[in-house]
Amino acid sequence: MPETLPTAAVRVTVNGKPCERQVEPRQLLVEFIREELRLTGTHIGCDTSFCGACTVLLDGAPVKSCTLLAVQADGAELTTVEALEQDGQVHPLQQAFSEQHGLQCGYCTPGMFMSSLALLAEHPEPSPQDIRKALSGNLCRCTGYQNIIKSVQTAATLLRQEG
Amino acid sequence: MDMQFSGEFSVARSKEEVFAMLADPQQFAPLLPGYHSMEMKDARTAKIRARVGIGRIGGLATTELSLVEAQAPHRARYTGRGKLMQGVYRMHTAFDLHDTTDGGARISWQGKAELTGKILSLAGGGIRGYAEKQITRLIASLETALSSAPEPEPAAPGGWLGRALYGLSDVSATEARIEPQVAPTPDLQAQRAAANQRIQALLEAPRAQVKPARREDERLIKGKGLFVDDYSPAGLLHLSVLRAPYAHARIVNIDVSKAQALPGVACTLTGKEIMELTDPFIQIGAGATQQITDYALATDKVIYQGDPVVAVVAESVAIAEDALQLVDVEYEPLEVVLDAEDALTDRVALHEETGTNTIFSGVYEYGDLEQAFADAAHIVKIDRLEFHRFGSTALEPSACVATWDPRGEIDLFANTIMTVPLAFLAPALRVRMDQIRLRTHDIGGSFGNKITNYPYLTLCCLASRKMNGAPVKWIETRTGQMLTGGHGSERIYLDTEVALDRNGVITGLRSKHIDDIGAYPRYEPLGSVIWSQVLPATYKLRNIRIDFNQVVTNKGPSAPNRGYSRLPHIWFMERVVDICGHELGIPADQMRLNNYIGEFPYETPNGCVYDSGDLPAMLAKAKELVGWDAWQKKQAEARGEGRLLGIGIGTTLDSGTNNWGQARYVNPQAPFSGNSTAATVKLDLDGTVVVSLGTFPQGQGHETTAAQVVGKVLGLPPELVQVKTGFDSLNDSHTGQSGTYASQFVVTGLSAAHGAALKLKAELTKLACFGLDAAAEDLEFGVGDMGPQVSVRGTEQALNYWMLANFINSNSASLPDELRDLSLHARHVYMPPFKVPDVEKKIGNLTLTYALQLHICVIEVNPDTFQTKILDYAIVDDCGTVINPMIVEGQVHGAAAHGIGAALLEEIAYDREGNAISGSFTDYAPITINAMPELKCANRQSPSPFTFHGAKGMGEGGGGPLHSVCAALQDALHGQDLIIRHSHNSPMVMFDRFAGGTEKGVTVESR
């Protein structure tokens, strides 16, 4: 068995639910989310903050969870892709990405959702330029981005109609 | 990478005093930045432990520092060497001492550092800044140490700079200091709370029960996909790989004892053990290539930077990675071969057992070249063109979880993409193929690259067996992926000669091509023939000679990459057409109209049959989309203002559904020909229609389109057809050629599913005839009140699928004998009507379908910086009958992004020692949303006469933007008499090539 490494307490609210775990101080936030909380919708694509597949919202702001330690999130509210679906029904953002074919393999999609959500919270009617700026840290290797831009625009329309 | 630094500073101490200190390793060593501890090896050599790293990433590294020259009191010189972060470095530092007029000493110093290994790619462009900072710190601490008392304002510039930039007064104190976390200010807290509230409000938007546009979306948009890393069975162990820091080196010794002793480490694997436990992977190539011994780990030497040397298996990834740092490997560096022409000389042979670097060498010659050149009105000669190394870098890296249970059954959950790797894996592991259950679920992209991840799958299987059946997971790191996980090969085109008639019609072409496939051939020998599927590209010339060669070099092993092997060839043909057009003054569109193939089906000089299309119509459509005439006007205006604006056309082919018989051009003994793909359609016990495919989808929507096709046969809406996700060898829905590759699913996969659905329908018809006491021609398939059913036309009589399934599965006693051979489990193997090609003449139909794409790019180039901006972009695609327009358009967009990225941003680059200098996304620069222009797309449909539905495979896309972007750049720069000879044209490389003027390398002889 490995030597017992010192651990630190991390208390966070994840998708509205309070969670507490003892973790190694070196544990990354994305590992905490995937391994400790078993929320595997958040993906790891590059280990170096480039691709944005691991993007989650930390106190409402999009962060790349491969670049934060879990202990740095102590006390924060986290939002992940799993917050979007409720009782089998999907959020307008999810609906829009499917309708506009804004995903193919789906690996980048949860990160795209989180960055888009942060954008739409600030800009309910984003221009294509606003969308490009907000998603410039999210890589997609399948779609060529064109349908992602359309998806976010469609989501904005759906949200305005429903709001 | 080499770095050199120098400088000087003065101190108020005598030369002798300064020398005494500098020439004493025990006094000098503690001044090194990050100094931790030391021990003296002998009087002149110290082993120093120092903290190194960039930002907060780092660790302790050992340096051996030797005083190699001491001329009292004038000169002291040190050399140092050590390793850090899977890299090695050497440094040389010399100090020359001079008297100053005020009795002090002036110290002039020179430093040189050489770095090799992964450290370079990890640190990327930051390494030079880091080294500068370290040297400034060293000099600053030297000054501090040499000053008798700390001076508040030291006179020497080095020290002043050090303090100003880094706030250094005491290095050791700096090392120990950790900045306390700053608590958020009340303002920030309020901002965060407000942001959170806005998010919460958005999350409260009303949900809806929505039918997703694709089957796959149902789980993927919810974050409920199952990618390999999401699968973590109990007792899971993790495997990490130690990779070679050298591009070419002999392994002198490997010591894993310290790694094995680390608590939490389960076991290690080295090349020696692999040689005992496995057989070398089979080789596809012929002749000497068959002698290559390729194992899952390097054995006697490493032949590219990143070559796996040791695997460590541990209870967590973190422990495994820690343990890798404790492995000691001693290497003896060897000379590297990085250039394809150099490799061809066999000056240094990578695979010593073969004595040659050549994997394939052959001539593809058709028509009458001599006559074509004798009759030519113009002969254009192009000395050299180069197609660069890049990869599609799927966002999900390669991965697997292997479980080799003690009973001998292997469960392999992986993201491989065809069954061919099973043919590599099973013999290497010395098991029967039925012992391996290979399965996939969701795959986060592949684009061909994941075909060659089988060495790592092999490692995980062995590790699991060694650990008595514990599941072992391997997730490739992004750096590992960039070093070795899927480079598209490079190709150079030498001494090209083009014969043209008076109208610019190309009548003959001869050229020598060399493919550089990196270290191991693996799948690549097939790349020596696959390009010839598109031998004349979209042009009607009949006289062609290509002298084709393929070599290994000390670079990462290449693998199929979107557009595999055909893309580099079409790029070459498109460059030829554009260069000839520009040299002869024929506009790009006219040049194409003069040369395009006219009537389809068209048989190429090497026997391939292009099935359908209308190239002039596609060109006209694309010109209309982009606004060709308007851009011509704008171009004229821009040129008047001295701006560089270019318009380029790229016409491309996506050949799909291989005739594997072409492998025999490479190896006449290869037991391959034709193509086969299986699918099953069954009625489950409750009457559910269940489809299993032999494919490994990675985002192409196979579940969606298979449900469409099967549903259509049975008269059901697609939502009443279940399609199993991913591949599972237990489904028995595969053949040896099943997989997701070579733009073929729409033909092979859907034909197999279609065939199986027809077989099931035939069985259901027989059962319904019996059950309903009706004639077959009176039956109708559809959906009734009780779900899917077969009914008697015009009556209320019907049997639903549960009742029909029940006849076979639970209620067979009532069946007549003649119906007792039914199974309601239909399996169909689709085999296209291929013949074995003529290996001697290299003639045969090599692919079944040819989708076409035509791209037009408008680009502007900054004349000073060579930065580019795409101003407009249009694509017309023709992939025959379209089964699902949304999915087809998605593939067109995706392939366009890969092409634009490769043409302008992405390159897998090596320095002259074979160090990979694009080892992370930061250095590789995959295309982001900001670099993508808005694409104007249109579609034409010329149904293929060779497929049941008229559709053609189109996923790879043919790399249209590489052709159109290079053509547009050529058009922009041609006024300056520059030729685009490279497929990669980032601002940096264009600046290097063009800013100082360049040799054009093109000549024209006209008669």
The Cα B501–Cα B379 span in angstroms is 9
CATH code, residues A8-83: 3.10.20.30
Which residue do the tokens 């006007």 mark?
A: B633
Comparing CB atoms, the residue among A26, A88, A90 nearest residue B318 is: A26
Among A77, A135, A141, whose Cβ lies nearest the Cβ of B392?
Answer: A141
At B681, is the secondary structure helix, strand, or coil?
strand
What percent of chain B clears pLDDT 90, i.e. is strictly above it?
Answer: 77
What is the DSSP code (8-state) at residue A3?
Answer: P
Q: What is the CATH T-level fold of the domain B676-830, as seen in this structure?
A: Aldehyde Oxidoreductase; domain 4 (3.30.365)
Using CA coordinates, name the residue in chain B closest to A160: B205
* Optimal mutation site among B211, B395, B442, B853, interface A, most CBs of chain A within 10 A: B395
Residue in chain A nearest B955 by alpha carbon: A142
Name every chain B residue with its beta carbon within 8 A of the beta carbon of A45.
395-397, 444, 478
Structural domain boundaries of chain B?
A: 2-166, 229-334+398-475, 358-390+486-661+837-1006, 676-830
The answer to whether residue B62 scores a pLDDT higher than 70 is yes
Give the span between the Cα atoms of B12 and A80, in whole angstroms: 62
The secondary structure of B708-766, three-state, reads HHHHHHHCCCHHHEEECCCCEHHHCCCCCCCECCCCCHHHHHHHHHHHHHHHHHHHHHH
Contacts of B225 in chain A (CB under 8 A): 41, 106-107
- Residue B254: what residue type? I
**Mutation site for B-interface testing, chosen from A39, A117, A145, A153 by largest number of B Cβ within 10 Å:** A145
- ipTM value > 0.95: yes
* Euclidean distance between CA atoms B772 and B619, whole angstroms: 56
The pLDDT assigned to B117 comes to 59
Question: What is the pLDDT confidence band of residue B433, given thresholds at 50, 70 and 90?
Answer: very high
What residues contact B641, with CB distance under 8 A and at least 6 apart?
none
Mean pLDDT confidence for B328-341: 98
Q: Which of A120-134, B67-81, B532-546, B785-799 has the lowest mean pLDDT?
A: B67-81
B28-32, B268-272, B814-818: least confidently modelled range: B28-32
Q: Which of B199, B392, B932 sits opposite A145 (nearest CB)?
A: B932
How confident is the model over B146-191, as pLDDT tens digits? 875 444 443 333 333 323 333 333 333 333 333 445 566 778 888 8
User: Residue B451 and residue B415: Cα distance in Å, rounded?
Assistant: 9
Give the whole-angstrom CA distance, residue B220 versus residue B442: 9
Which of B362-366, B426-430, B930-934, B990-994 comes out lowest in average pLDDT? B990-994
Q: Are B581 and B591 in contact (CB under 8 A)?
A: yes
Its CATH class, for the domain covering B229-334+398-475, is alpha beta
Does domain A92-162 fall under CATH 1.10.150.120? My reply is yes
Q: What is the pLDDT of residues B832-847, one digit of tens each?
A: 999 999 999 999 999 9
Calculate mean pLDDT across residues B956-974: 95
Give pLDDT, residue B165.
30
For residue B350, give Cα distances in angstroms to A123, B283, B358: 57, 16, 10
What local confidence, expressed as pLDDT, does residue B114 receive? Answer: 74
Nearest to B393 by CA among B937, B990, B923: B923
pLDDT in tens, B283-315: 999 999 999 999 999 999 999 999 999 999 999
* DSSP per-residue codes, B977-1000: T----BS---HHHHHHHHTT----
Whether residues B202 and A89 touch (CB distance < 8 A) is answered with no
Residue ranges of alpha helices (H) inside B223-266 are 257-261
Q: 3-state DSSP call for residue B809?
A: helix
Selecting from A43, A88, A98 the residue whose C-beta is nearest the C-beta of B217 gives: A98
Q: Which of A34, A39, A97 sits opposite B221 (nearest CB)?
A: A97
| List of chain A residues whose C-beta atoms are within 8 Å of the C-beta of residue B396 | 43, 45, 105, 107
d(CA B976, CA B1000): 10
Return the closest-CA partner of residue B286 out of B374, B236, B360: B360
**Per-residue pLDDT for B475 more than 80?**
yes
B77 versus B54: the higher-pLDDT residue is B77
In whole angstroms, give the CA distance from residue A75 to residue A52: 23
Residues of B in contact with A110 (CB under 8 A): 223
What pLDDT shows up at residue B84?
A: 60
Q: Tokens 């193939």, residue? A: B597
Residues of chain A numbered 109-148 and touching chain B (CB < 8 Å): 109-110, 117-118, 120-122, 128, 131-133, 135-148
In this predicted model, what pLDDT tens digit does every residue of B213-236 receive, in sequence order? Answer: 999 999 999 999 999 999 999 999
Nearest CA in chain A to B201: A121
Instruction: Beginning with the edge strand found earlier in the chain, give each strand of the sheet holding B490-500 in spatial order.
Output: B358-366, B543-551, B506-516, B490-500, B378-387, B1002-1006
Measure in Å the smallest separation between the Cα of B195 and chain A Cα atoms: 5
In whole angstroms, what is the distance from residue B982 CA to residue B571 CA? 10
Whether residue B59 has pLDDT greater than 70? no
A92 CB neighbours in chain B (<8 A) are 205, 208
Please give the C-alpha separations between residue B500 and each of B374, B711, B966, B971, in angstroms, as whole numbers.
Answer: 11, 53, 22, 20
B-chain residue closest to A113, CA distance: B221
Q: How many residues does chain B have?
A: 1007
pLDDT tens by residue, B649-701: 999 999 999 999 999 999 999 999 999 999 999 999 999 999 999 999 999 99
Nearest CA in chain A to B208: A89
Cα nearest neighbour of B900 on chain A: A144
Q: Which residues of B515-541 are buried (b: 16+ CB within 10 A; e: fewer)?
A: bbbbbbbbbbbbbbbbbbbbbbbbbbb
- pLDDT for A2 beyond 60: no
Window A:53-82, CB contacts with B under 8 Å: 53, 57, 59-61, 77, 79-82
CATH topology of domain B358-390+486-661+837-1006: Aldehyde Oxidoreductase; domain 4 (3.30.365)
Q: Could A118 and B199 be called an inter-chain contact, meaning their C-beta atoms sit closer than 8 Å? A: yes
Q: Which residues are CB-contacts of A129 (< 8 A; sequence separation ≥ 6)?
A: none
Please answer yes or no on whether A46 and B894 come within 8 Å at the CB atom. no
- Rounded to an integer, what distance in angstroms lies between the CA atom of residue B714 and that of residue B790? 9
CB pairs below 8 Å between A and B: how many?
233
A18 in contact with chain B, both atoms CB, cutoff 8 A? no
Q: Which whole number is the average pLDDT over A82-104?
A: 97
Model confidence band, residue B102 (pLDDT cutoffs 50, 70, 90): confident
Phi, psi at B680, each rounded to 5°? -125, 145
Which residues from chain B sit within 8 angstroms of residue A120, using beta carbons?
202
pLDDT score, position B29: 80
Residue B430 has pLDDT above 60, yes or no: yes
Among the partner residues A35, A48, A158, nearest to B478 by beta-carbon distance: A48
Q: Are A43 and B887 within 8 A, CB to CB?
A: no
pLDDT exceeds 60 at position B135: yes
**Residue that the structure tokens 């140490």 belong to:** B145
Q: Which residues of B touch A139 (CB under 8 A)?
A: 395, 921, 926, 928
Q: Where are the alpha helices (DSSP H) in B23-68?
A: 25-28
Residue linked to tokens 């070093």: B483
List the one residue out of B615, B646, B651, B644 whose CA is nearest residue B632: B646
Q: Can you tell me which residue has the tokens 């109609």?
A: A161
- The answer to whether B929 contacts A77, with C-beta atoms less than 8 Å apart, is no
CA pair distance B826, B714, nearest whole angstrom: 13
Residue B343: φ, ψ to 5°: -60, -40
* Residue given tokens 């358009």 in the structure block: B889
Question: Which residue, B754, B734, B786, B757, is CA-closest to B683?
Answer: B757
- Is 0.95 surpassed by the pTM of this model? no
Nearest to B708 by CA among B847, B888, B850, B853: B888
What separation in angstroms does the CA of B128 have from each of B3, B54, B366, B694, B987? 7, 11, 53, 50, 21
What is chain B's mean pLDDT, rounded?
Answer: 91
Q: With contacts defined as CB-CB under 8 Å, which chain B residues touch A82?
A: 222-223
H-helix or E-strand containing B961? helix B960-973
The CA distance from B534 to B564, in Å, is: 11
Contact A141 B393 (CB under 8 A): yes
Instruction: Supply the pLDDT for residue B177.
Output: 35
Q: Which CATH superfamily is domain B2-166 in?
A: START domain (3.30.530.20)
Q: For the residues of B550-597, what is the DSSP string, one character each?
A: EE--SSPPB---SSTTHHHHHHHHHHHHHHHHHHHT--HHHHHHHHB-
Given this model, what pLDDT does residue B60 score? 63
Per CB-CB distance under 8 Å, the chain A contacts of B206 are 162
CB B597 within 8 A of CB B508: no
Q: What pLDDT shows up at residue B14?
A: 86
Predicted confidence at residue B141, as pLDDT, reads 81
From chain B, pick out residues whose CB is under 8 angstroms from the CB of A12: none
Tell me which chain B residue has its CA closest to the CA of residue A163.
Answer: B205
Q: Report domain extents, chain A.
A: 8-83, 92-162
CA distance A106 to chain B (A): 5
Alpha carbon dihedral B589, B593, B598, B602, in 10-degree steps, equals -60
